Amino acid sequence: MAATTTLLIGYFKFDWFKSEIYKVDANITREINQANFFKETKTINTKVALTKDNYEEQNYEINTDFVVFLKEKTTLKENDNLYKASLVILKSKMTTKDEEYELPSFDIRDEEKVKEFKSNPDGSKFPIAEFSFYENGTISDIKFPDLADEYNSQTLQKLVEKVIPKLSRNKT
């Protein structure tokens, strides 16, 4: 009897067992040429076995600043849009054992780098990706420069996968 009373009070007074999806009356807008800035901090812990009982641990922290530019919106059918966007890693650094290393990035304010990119947009030096996604958050396509190396491609793909839910928030 006491357990039933406790559960009923918890259910009605404290909202126990209720769904955590709430309806929000908000209109998420995405404008063409809109720039969305993001920062990702990732910690990687590694262990390297030197002998059977001896191993070395190392921790890495990777900080990445990137921007997503919404470039195009195509209406496919009612309440279903396809967005095209570009992702550019603006700054990326790795810290380990109090040492800091620069990772591939593209400072879009540096005129020399912009000129170099314009002369060779399919090169492997700059971490840039173009992608498209639907209103519901499904990724349609991800494109990298033709000569992009594996590190940049994997990093960009993971960033796109992480940022899509933020760009395509629905009303729940």
> In this predicted model, what pLDDT tens digit does every residue of 35-45 receive, in sequence order?
899 999 999 89
Contact 160, 144 (CB under 8 A): no
pLDDT at res. 167: 82
- Give a yes or no: residue 4 inside a domain: no
CB 62 within 8 A of CB 41: yes
- 146 by DSSP, 3-state: which? coil
By C-alpha distance, which of 80, 78, 40 is closest to 61? 40
Select from 71, 104, 85, 103 the least CA-distant residue to 160.
Answer: 85
Query: Is pTM, for the whole model, over 0.85?
Result: no
Half-sphere exposure of 113 (CA within 13 A, CB side): 12
Domain interval for residue 154: 22-167
Residue 86 lies in a domain: yes
Distance CA 31, CA 38 (A): 17
17 in a structural domain? no
Residue 172 has a pLDDT of 41
Plot region of 98 (φ>0 → left; ψ -120 to 50 → alpha; else → beta): left
Question: How confident is the model at residue 87, as a pLDDT?
Answer: 93
Assigned domain for 160 exists: yes
In this structure, is residue 11 part of a structural domain? Answer: no
Would 50 be classed as within a structural domain? Answer: yes
What total number of domains does the chain contain? 1
In a domain, 151, yes or no: yes
- The answer to whether position 96 is within a domain reads yes
Please identify every stretch of the chain with a pLDDT value under 70, giving residue numbers as ranges.
18-29, 79, 123, 169-172
Instruction: Return the pLDDT at 116.
Output: 84
Alpha carbon distance 91, 47 (integer Å) = 27
* Burial class of residue 40 in the structure, from the number of CB atoms within 10 Å of its CB (0-12 exposed, 13-18 middle, 19+ buried): middle
- Please tell me the predicted confidence (pLDDT) of residue 145: 84
